[in-house]
Structure 1
Amino acid sequence: MDFSLNKIYHDFKLIEEKYIKEINSKARIFQHNKTGARLLNLENDDDNKVFAIGFRTPPKDSTGIAHIMEHSVLCGSRKFSIKDPFVELAKGSLNTFLNAMTFSDKTLYPVASKNDKDFFNLMDVYLDAVLYPNIYKYPEILMQEGWHHELNSEDDEITYKGVVYNEMKGVFSSPEDVLYRKIQESLFPDTTYGFESGGDPQYIPDLTYEKFIDFHKNFYHPSNSYIYLYGNGNLDEQLRFINEEYLNKFDKAEINSRIEVQKPFGGIRDFKAEYSVSKEDQGKDKTFFSLNFVLGEACNDELYLAFDILEYLLLETPAAPLKKALIEAGIGKDVYGFFDNSILQPVFSVVVKNSNEDKKEEFKKIIFDTFNELVEKGIDKKLIEACINIKEFRLREGDTRNYPKGLIYYTKAMDSWLYDGNPLSHLEYEETFNKIKIALTTNYFEELIKKYLLNVKHGSIITLTPKQGLAEEKAEKLRLKLKEYKSTLSKKELKKLVEETNSLRERQTSPEKKEDLEKIPLLSLKDIDPKAEELPLEETTIGNNKLLYHSLFTNKIVYLKFIFDSKTVEENYIPYVSLLSAVLGKIGTEKYDYADLANEINIYTGGIGYSSSTFIKNGTEGEYLPKFIVKAKVLIDKLPKNIDILEEIILNTKMDDKKRLKEIIQETKSRLEMVIFDAGHIVAANRLFSYFSPVGKYEENISGLQFYKFVEELEENFDEKADEIIRSLKKVAEAIFNKNNLIISIAIEEEHFNGAKENIIKFIEKLDDKVLKINEYKFEIDPQNEGLLTEGDVQYVVKGCNFKQLGYEYSGSLQVLKTIISLDYLWHNIRVLGGAYGSFASFGRSGNMFFGSYRDPNLKETIDAYKKAELYLKNFDVNEREMTKYIIGTISGLDMPLTPAAKSEKAVAYYLSNITKEDVQKERDEILNCNKEMIKSFSSLIADAMKENYICVLGNSSKIKNNKDIFNNLVEVFK
């Protein structure tokens, strides 16, 4: 239907309406008369509809009140009074996105679905959750999600427990996260940004129930809300629902959620902080430096986009002059930065990692010397063109990876809307881009550097140093603090703590009432398309090579993959395959030095990437295909130039540039360290698979802890090993880049296909065609249990095996089992009762399976819970409605909307893994036909799997050592 300005629709007044060509959407801004609630609608042809409600939630301390509230409101509400409606939705809706997010100054609750009925169900549950949560009735919700004193008997030691408490212990185990917290703390001592909205574990136990409730009363009101509707839904019906079911029950309220502006310091302030390393670690080359600048305000559209480009120009592209200057001066082994434009006063930061404390002044001097030089001599115009082009390409492509496009637009809108600006300003980027493009002929960026970075009025410099045994020191202080606290309690008070612990446990373990569970809205199986989506793939040839063609609307972008068999690489050179992917494109060639090469790539393409990957052959006993993939995306008219660049990189890379090679190896090691802290569950799971699976062993060598150790050793002994590294890289490149082991994949509209083929043929003709030997890898599979020791405060606990080796077969019903185990059994036992931030199960077609936990305070207790999953399945007894719920939740995971690039990627993965469309349909049929008897029958699989006793735990050194009898080996992760 048509909407008219200043007219009222279900008590929403239309204030503004306009078409935004950049995102192909009609935008409407509404205000709700009765409450003052703001609402933004982006109408378009996207069937992946998004709803979100957000609140401005500035914290006044570091107790994590905003973060704990985000968790807690999703633990039951007025209409949906069960303990975990969020999990019930995850189990049984067709959502394409379901989550909640805490930022420094706002909390967002977004959901997405392609199904209209499901979309309204999701809106209903989320609106009821945020406006009518059960936190007022059950203090135990704060105890579970936030923190509580845990005391099971009067003789036990008191401990702290809580989901957010343990999540943030995990966050603060990473030095990068400690540094980021200190940046905001240093720059904004007088405003909300000086506090940790996620919660600092040191202060989380200061949060009282009274303050918690007051926070909700103050900020979770429609008058403080920012509501969002995106996609091709029925807007009139959506507005009616939101008003009649929720908003008209409220009156307008005066809410002071205003965020104050930090007054400039008049210069740069100096700060120091520490992070923990092991007692054996001497701390050499482990200092971080960060120089930070506050830049204007978020509602400045031009600055918002210009500094995003400038940060990339200075610090991200291989041609980045500031990064280059710091690396070449030997200040540190890795340099990166960020521009945080999602706060009222955006921040630009330069970070150096793996340095030493005595280099601080030099760090600062080089930064300002580089800025001065860029202003005086000017920035290379080709570099400017490259950085503008790559940023514009990414914006126009609209590839949002795993997030719905509509959600990305909501967060961009909030970057101005939250601060009383126009929510559309950052979505209408074309005019702003055109203003910035004058930088190609003027000193535009030089003037920005001069105004905001050289004439700094508000900044900080932080030195983050390693301290031996700091984690143990803090743990002991906490133990003594709690011991002293216990000594002050009377017998009566101790008894009360035990009663509170038991009361929480009783609430957590009590079964839900059937009538309450059935209040959660649920689709029927009739709402699900029984037919699996067919991914476009036509197998043809190009010369003597296979060509996989994906006919898709790509908006004139070519998505190209050159897939080389890497089994041509000898076994002892396997880690060099992954190293090669890190080197290509970042080191010079015969024609270009590495900076010029980066500019060519960014001017003429949307990016070129390299990766070592494995594809497990469906229906075989562990047979897998290792591949080296070269990926490019480019506008069709620039494809010839893209092919020229690829040819230059593949055939003419100068591996013997020792200086540059060393820099790349140092940066690779640094980035792997970040992954180990942020994705410990993946690191532990990959390590686990290497105990019993050849493909696991291979992947451990190209991306796991084994690869990290390989890179660490190369970096440590680079000077002695440089010639050997160069020879090895050349040998591996020669074994891979050959037309006899190449498959090509291309996604493009049909009208451009033949022209693209002609360009690809030119590339293939340049490749070597000598006969290659295909190697059969014979890894020593070494069954073991390992404790991977770090200074982190939490664990990532993984246990699993290969169920095919035990005589079981894969079926789609295992994916329903995954839903049930992950979101029911493990969620309840590992997260709710155990206090871990996350828990999950995985069952692959290869037979590799695992149970895992994320940011887990426990270790042995978690393993014991895994072992008892067998009993849970033996006693599994649900009604038809509950079974339907699990099936729908499983299908939801299969039916995520895919971009053209993702569709071609998935189609290639299926092709290489020998997964046919019949296999995909069979899996879907098995999911749709799954029943409780099938789930019960898996108890024997789980029992046998847990008896295999493969365990890998990455986590706190002391905790693992205290449980050393579980492990065969203890491995120090970081030297």
Structure 2
Amino acid sequence: MTFKIGNSYNGFKLIEEKEIKEVKSIGRVFEHEKTGAKLINISNDDDNKVFAIGFRTPPEDSTGLPHILEHSVLCGSRKFDTKEPFVELLKSSLNTFLNAMTYPDKTVYPVASRNNKDFKNLMDVYLDAVLYPNIYKYPEIFMQEGWHYSLENKEDKLKYNGVVYNEMKGAYSSPDSLLFRKITETLYPDTPYSHSSGGDPEVIPELTYDQFISFHKKYYHPSNSYIYLYGDGDVNEQLRFINDEYLKDFDRIEIDSKIPLQKPFEEMREYNYTYSLAEEDSIENKSFLNLNFSIGSSLDTETNLAFTIIEYILLETPAAPLKKALLDNNIGKSVFGEFDDGLAQPYFSIVAKDANENDKEKFKKIVFETLGKLVKDGIDKKLIEASINKIEFLLREGDFRGQPTGIVYYSKVMDSFLYGGDPFINLQYEPLIESVKKALTSRYFEDLIEKYLISSNHSSIVLLKPEKGLNDRKEKELQDKLSRYKDSLSEKELDEVIEKCKNLKTRQMTPDTSEALKTIPTLHISDIDKKAEKLPLEIKNKDGVKVLFHETHTNKIAYLKLLFNNKVLPIELLPYSKLLSDVLGKINTKNYDYGSLSNEIGIHSGSISFNVMTYVKSGKPQEFSATFMVKSKALMNKLNKTCELISEILGNTLFDDKDKILQNIREIRAYYEMMLFNSGHVVAAKRVMSYFSPKASYDEVISGIGYYKFLCDLDKNFESKWDNIKNNLNNVRECLFNKSNLTVSFGGENEDYNTLEDAMPIIINSLGDKKVSEVNYDFEVNKENEGLLTQGNVQYVAKGGNFIDDGFNYSGSALVVETILSFDYLWNNVRVQGGAYGVVPRLSRSGNMFITSYRDPKLKETLDIYDNVPSYLKNADIDEDTMTKYIIGTIRNLDTPLTASMKTEYAIEEYYMGINFEDRQKERTEVIETTIEDIRNYAPLVESVMKQNHICVLGNEKKIKDNKDIFGKLITVIE
């Protein structure tokens, strides 16, 4: 359909239309004439359509009101009067994305689907949710998702509970998260950015229900909305639906949601904060030093792109001069930074982690001296070229690792449109890239550093230092406060608190009626594609080396991976293979120092990275593969040069730079410490599987807590272990990088295969010719049942086992069981009633099964819920319509849209797992044909796993010690 500027289409007036060549789309700006709602359309041939509605929601305090509201509006609405339509859609939709996100100044509700009928259903549910939520009818929604006083009996202790309350307790358990919260607070103290839109757990209980309702009334109105349509859908029909079903019933109103700007500071401001450390831990070198700078405006897109590159130059590459200067002067053990232009006033931040608190002035001095030297002498032009190329490659590749393209573009649109700017400016990157390339022949970046960093007073310096026992003291203060409050209540008031909790529990435990559930639009089995997607894999041979060829359209990008069998290493060298993957490309080689090497990689490739990957054989839990993976991507015409660089790294890396290797060890250690807080559910699940799975035991050595402890030992005893480290890295290299030990993976079009054949000899000729053979590992798999102690305020509770070892088999129906548990039994009991942020069950082809919770206030109660899963499955009462929903929701997970690089990685995984297309088709058919009897038949399988009683909990030290009888041993994790 042809649109004309100035014309109206179903209540929407077309304001602007333009071609966006960079993303092969037509961009349109509409305004809804009756309400003033703003609507952006990006039209193209992408069948993965996206709808989103967002609102500008500046927080007025740190109660987390925007975040709690984001959760709550998805708990039932006018047309879809179930407790959680969001969960019903996760069960029954073919969506490729379904979520909601709270930002510092906006709240957005994006969905995506490739199915037209499903897409319309998603639009309908989300529009009804945000405009007509049930929060006005049921105060219990606010209690459940936000916070409430928890008290079942008058004799019990009074507690706080609530999903967001517990989520943010977990988030702010991490000192890294706490620090990043302080950046905007210190830079923009007179604006909404000084508040935590997610919520500070100490402030969340100050939020009242009336404030909660008033916020929705004020901001969740079409006049304050930003609507988005992306993909190949019928735009006119979509506009008709949005207008006729929703917007026509509203009138335009004035809403003051503008984000006020912070007046520039007259001088840098200084702040000191503390975070909790265990009493027995040393506080030496456990501080964070942080410098922050306000950088112009979100609407200055060229400067923002320039600072994205400047941040990469200064802090991201192995040659990064600011990072090097700080580490060389022993300021922190890990240095990183961030440039965030998703705010009205962007910021640039520099962080030194594991630093000495007394080095604050030295930290500041080195930063400004280094920046001053760069401005005076100029930045290395090769470093500039490499950094620009890196960012440009990412923009052109457009691979967002499984996140729908349209969702990413919505974020880019909102980064300017929310503040009154051109919505498409961040997508039209060609002129911006060309403009910043003047830095190759001028002082462009140097002048920006001078203006926004060196000469700017709008900055802050933050010290975040450890305080022993802070969590315990705060917890005691909280308990005393709650105790005093409880004592102040009359008998009648206590009865009211108990009654409210009872009403909440009644609502949570009362199933939705069948009539209510039928209001949720759903699909039918006939809407599902019965055929599995065939992943591209053809096995070839080049000069005696096996090649896994993945024929797929890559837009002339070569995806090359070298896969060396890592199981040729003796067990004592396994952690060194992971260390090797962590240092390669970041230290000197025979022909390049690490800075020059980094520049060459940036100039000639998209990236070259290294990792150790493991794959368990389908149906054979005792068998697994392990590969040392060299992963690269480059334009086809630069593949030869990329291969030369890979060969240089593999064959000529020098392990003699003692200081640089120690710096790398400390940085990796710092990364793992962050992961313990941010991905504790993954850490606990991997650890519990190591009690019974040889593959998981291997994983613990190369990527789990075992590897973290290995890094801590190397760091603490580096001087005495240095010769051993150097020799072992050499030994690993000599053993791994041999032609006989290599398999190659290549993703590209058929016509590009010749490019690989021309380039492969560059790799092969640089490898050794030693014949190596696999080692048989004898991992001791023991039921350790560990409690992993941290200063976090929540738990990550994992339990698992292997069902094939107990005589059971895997089928596709296991995936339906996962869906049912995820969005019914476990969701209702662990998240809704228990207050955890999430819970994940997994049943895999290897027979490994685990359940793990995320940011969970409970411990033993959660394990009891896991143990009752068999009873739930045995007595499952699921009608045909509901089973259809679960099947569709399961297929959704199997049909995630795959980018070209993802297709190559999934094909590699299936190759090593021993899975072919017929296996995947069989699994898909079993999913589609799953019956209620199949689900009930999983009860004994799950019961066998639960009876194996493998448990691992990562979390609050006191909580775990209070339940110490559950565990075989207690371990303090962070050293």
Verify same fold: TM over 0.5.
Answer: yes
Q: Partners of 1:690 and 1:92 in 2: how far apart?
A: 34
1:445 aligns with 2:466: no
| Counterpart residue number, 1:206 | 206
Structure 1 CA distance, aligned partners of 2:433 and 2:351? 27
Deviation at 1:858, TM superposition (A): 0.3
Work out the CA distance in 2 between the residues paired with 1:292 and 1:621: 50
Cα separation, partners in 2 of 1:940 and 1:619, compared to 1, 3 Å: closer
Residue 320 of structure 1: aligned partner: 320
| Residue equivalent to 2:816 | 816
Counterpart of 2:609, as a letter, is: G
Separation (CA, whole Å) in 2 of partners of 1:840 and 1:170: 17
Aligned pairs for 1:884-903 (under 5 A) are 884-903=884-903
- Whether 1:248 and 2:248 are equivalent positions in the alignment is yes
Q: Which deviations, in whole Å up to 9, do the C-alpha atoms of 1:231-279 show, x marking residues without a partner?
A: 1111111111111001111100110101100111112100000001101
Alignment of 1:64-463 (within 5 A): 64-463=64-463
Superposed CA deviations along residues 377-408 of structure 1, whole A, max 9, x for unmatched, are 00000000000000000010001013101100
Please state how far the C-alpha of 1:766 moved relative to its aligned partner. Answer: 2.0
User: Shift in Å at residue 33 of structure 1?
Assistant: 0.2
Cα deviation code 1:572-612 (max 9, x no counterpart): 11111111110100111001111111100001000011110
Task: Report deviation, 1:758.
Answer: 1.1
SS for the counterpart of 1:954 is: strand
1:412-561 alignment, distance < 5 Å:
412-561=412-561
Query: Is residue 2:619 matched to residue 1:619?
Result: yes
Match of 1:364, SS state, is: helix
Separation (CA, whole Å) in 2 of partners of 1:486 and 1:283:
37
Shift of 1:207: 0.4
Check the 8 A contact 2:82/2:517 in 1, yes or no: yes
2:619, 2:804 within 8 Å by CA — same for their partners in 1?
no
Instruction: Tell me the number of residue pairs that the alignment of Structure 1 and Structure 2 aligns.
Output: 975
In 1, Cα distance between the equivalents of 2:742 and 2:643?
Answer: 16
Secondary structure of the residue that 1:567 maps to in structure 2?
A: helix
Letter in 2 for 1:870: P
Question: Retained in 2: the 8 A contact 1:40–1:229?
Answer: yes
SS at match of 1:745: strand
Q: Gaps (5+ residues) in structure 2?
A: none
Q: Which amino acid aligns with 1:682?
A: V
CA contact (8 A) 1:266 1:456 kept: no
Structure 2 match to 1:631: 631
- Mapped to 2, the partners of 1:578 and 1:821 lie a distance apart of 35
The separation in 1 between residues aligned to 2:528 and 2:761, in whole angstroms, is: 43
In the alignment, the residues of structure 1 paired with residue 216 and residue 426 of structure 2 have an alpha-carbon distance, to the nearest angstrom, of 29
Aligned partner of residue 480 in structure 2, secondary structure: helix
Q: Report SS of the residue matched to 2:312.
A: helix
SS at match of 1:198: coil
Residue 953 of structure 1 is matched in structure 2 by: 953
SS across alignment from 1:760:
helix
Sequence identity (%)? 55
* Deviation of the 1:102 alpha carbon: 0.3
Q: What displacement does 1:762 show?
A: 2.5
Preserved contact between residue 566 and residue 735 of structure 1 (Cα < 8 Å)? no
CA RMSD of aligned residues (A): 0.7
Alignment correspondent of 1:785: 785
Q: Give the superposition deviation at 1:942.
A: 1.5
Cα distance per residue 1:807-830 (max 9 Å; x no partner): 110110000000001111100000
Shift of 1:945: 1.3
| Structure 1 residues 420-455: Cα deviation after superposition (integer angstroms, max 9, x where no partner) | 111111111110111110000000000001111111
For the residues of structure 1 that align with 2:953 and 2:593, how far apart are their CA atoms?
Answer: 43
Match of 2:737 in 1: 737
How does 1:496-895 map onto structure 2 within 5 Å? 496-895=496-895
Further displaced range: 184-193 or 94-103: 184-193
Q: Match for residue 11 of structure 1? A: 11
Partner SS for 1:548: strand
Separation in structure 1 between the aligned mates of residue 108 and residue 743 of structure 2, nearest angstrom: 44
Offset of 1:622 from its aligned partner?
2.1
C-alpha distance in 2, partners of 1:225/1:351? 36
In the alignment, the residues of structure 1 paired with residue 344 and residue 762 of structure 2 have an alpha-carbon distance, to the nearest angstrom, of 51
Residue range with higher mean Cα deviation, 875-884 or 952-961: 875-884
Q: After TM superposition, give the deviation of residue 285 of structure 1 in Å.
A: 1.1
Displacement of 1:457 after TM fit? 2.3
**C-alpha separation between the residues in 2 aligned to 1:275 and 1:620?**
46
* Per-residue deviation, 1:912: 1.4
- Distance in 2, matches of 1:914 and 1:950, equals 27
CA distance in 2, matches of 1:634, 1:955: 42
CA distance in 2 between counterparts of 1:300 and 1:949 reads 57
Q: Distance in 2 between matches of 1:487 and 1:909?
A: 59
Summarize deviations over 1:64-89 as a string: whole Å, max 9, x none: 00000000000000000100000000
Shift of 1:760: 1.1
Give the gaps of 5 or more residues in structure 1: none
Conserved in 2, the CA contact under 8 Å of 1:823 and 1:840?
no
Helix, strand or coil: the match of 2:773?
A: coil
Separation (CA, whole Å) in 2 of partners of 1:517 and 1:704: 42
CA shift for structure 1 position 359: 0.5
C-alpha contact (below 8 Å) 1:11/1:34 kept by paired residues: yes
Superposition deviation, residue 851 in structure 1: 1.0
CA separation in 2, counterparts of 1:621 and 1:596? 44
Q: TM-score, normalised by structure 2?
A: 1.00
Structure 1 position 522, deviation (Å) = 0.7
Query: Residue 915 of structure 1 corresponds to which residue in structure 2?
Result: 915
Aligned-partner Cα distance in 1 for 2:571–2:156: 53
**Cα shift readout 1:142-191 (whole Å, capped 9, x = no counterpart):** 00000000010111110000000000000000000110111111111111
Determine if contact 2:688/2:798 at 8 Å carries over to the other structure.
yes
Quote the Cα distance in structure 2 between the aligned partners of 1:963 and 1:783.
18
Residue type of the alignment partner of 1:421: G
Secondary structure at the counterpart of residue 332 of structure 1: coil
Distance in 2 between residues matched to 1:784 and 1:438, nearest whole Å: 59
The range that moved more, 940-949 or 214-223, is 940-949
Please report the TM-score for the alignment, with normalisation by the length of structure 1: 1.00
Deviates most, 592-601 or 743-752: 743-752
Q: C-alpha displacement at 1:879, in angstroms?
A: 1.0
Using the alignment, how far apart are the partners of 2:467 and 2:92 within structure 1?
A: 47
CA deviations on 1:739-784 (whole Å, 9 max, x unpaired) are 1011111111222211221111221122111111321101111112
Looking at structure 2, the residues matched to 405 and 810 of structure 1 have their Cα atoms a distance apart, in angstroms, of 34
Q: Structure 1: how far apart are the matches of 2:622 and 2:81?
A: 46
Q: Decide whether the 8 Å contact of 2:613 with 2:627 is kept in 1.
A: yes
Report the CA distance between 1:526 and its aligned residue. 0.5
CA distance in 1, matches of 2:291, 2:952: 38
What one-letter code is carried by the residue in structure 2 that aligns with 1:470?
L
Provide the rounded CA distance (Å) in 2 between the counterparts of 1:248 and 1:653. 67
SS in 2 for 1:95: coil
Q: Distance in 2 between matches of 1:921 and 1:641?
A: 40
Is the Cα contact below 8 Å between 1:566 and 1:626 reproduced in 2? yes
- Aligned residue for 2:792, secondary structure, equals coil
Contact 2:619 2:847 (8 Å CA) reproduced: no
Q: Matches of 1:906 and 1:227 in 2, distance apart?
A: 34
- Whether the 8 Å contact between 1:840 and 1:851 is mirrored in structure 2 is yes
Moved over 6 A (4+): none
